[in-house]
A and B are shown apart, each in its own frame.
Chain A
Amino acid sequence: MGLTARHLEENGIPTVIIGSALDIIEHCGAPRYLFTDLPLGNPIGHPGNMDEQRRVVGLGLGLFESVTAANKTVHAPVRWSESNDWRARYAEVKPEEMARLKAAGDARRALRQTLKVEGKLRNQDDST
């Protein structure tokens, strides 16, 4: 999404990104970014919490008014839970699951090879 924001901005449309992958967005470089430290999948707020979602959107809109230079990140005052356990769940690699992960990778590579032969490989996979 960072690349899309940059393209819009280069062509005269100011942007705000609201999202939860701080490292990826800042690595890319975004004009205005509201960081919500929530699990990927619900960048606007907890499911079912409309008040929080309104606050986050309000903060995001505020960046159009307040930011005067690129690469501005604002941290939204949101928290997923008292525990940080959720952080380790994303793309988790457990030692006891290495064989299963390797097998899943092998299956994926085999499927991609089949799709490549059939001309159905999507752009995501065009580098292999």
Chain B
Amino acid sequence: MNHTLTQYMQRTRDFYAAQGFERAYVWTQNDTTPFTRPAKPLKDCRLGIVTTAALHERKSTDKRATACAPIEPAPKQLWGNDLAWDKTVTHMNDLGSYFPLAALQAEVSAGRLGSLTDRFYCVPTEYSQRQTIDVDAPQVLKWLQEDRADIALLVPL
């Protein structure tokens, strides 16, 4: 790995160790990765957007849950102040910088992408990998299937 890049896992471990947490978080690691080819050309695909941002402001201690909402009208803002990101160097005031609805709609208008699902989907960043695997990811899959998504674009903050 290029060590000039930001080492997020190590920096996170160091930060929580400095806060006195004795057990370091263990990120999931997998030997194999599933892979599915698109069944149709991009110009015919319906795409769903999945974000780790939330529909409403949350406190860091609030319980997090999956959510979905219509893409029309477009959300004016999404929320992520309870998540770990670089609040000292950037901000979430420009929706397009973290939730690419406008850019994707432009791709649809240009004919490169078929369409977007009527809803977008919020999947929370969770400490518990079991929560993501057993509850949150299946819920997002269910919504994508209900909305006849062919492909999904996932955009973590």
A-side residues, CB < 8 A to B, are 1-24, 27-31, 37-50, 53-54, 56-58, 60-61, 64-65, 68-71, 80, 84, 86-87, 89-93, 98, 101-102, 104-106, 108-109, 111-112, 115, 120, 122-128
B100 lies within 8 A of A93 (CB): no
Q: What is the CA–CA distance of A57 and B96 in the complex, to the nearest angstrom?
A: 10
Our pick among B45, B61, B85 for the contact of A64 (Cβ within 8 Å) is B45
Q: What is the CA–CA distance of A5 and B87 in the complex, to the nearest angstrom?
A: 26
Minimum distance in angstroms from B121 CB to a CB of chain A: 9
Our pick among B42, B92, B127 for the contact of A123 (Cβ within 8 Å) is B127
Minimum distance in angstroms from B4 CB to a CB of chain A: 7
- Given known A-B contacts A14-B151, A28-B28, A104 and B156 have beta carbons under 8 A apart: no
A23 lies within 8 A of B50 (CB): no
Q: What is the CA–CA distance of A70 and B87 in the complex, to the nearest angstrom?
A: 32
A3 lies within 8 A of B5 (CB): no
A39 lies within 8 A of B107 (CB): no
A31 lies within 8 A of B61 (CB): no
A24 lies within 8 A of B154 (CB): no
- Given known A-B contacts A3-B133, A19-B156, A21-B8, A13 and B151 have beta carbons under 8 A apart: yes
A105 lies within 8 A of B152 (CB): no
- Given known A-B contacts A3-B28, A3-B133, A4-B154, A123 and B126 have beta carbons under 8 A apart: yes
A11 lies within 8 A of B153 (CB): no
Our pick among A20, A44, A68, A98 for the contact of B100 (Cβ within 8 Å) is A44
- Chain A residues lying within 8 Å of B89, measured Cβ to Cβ, are 39, 80, 86, 89
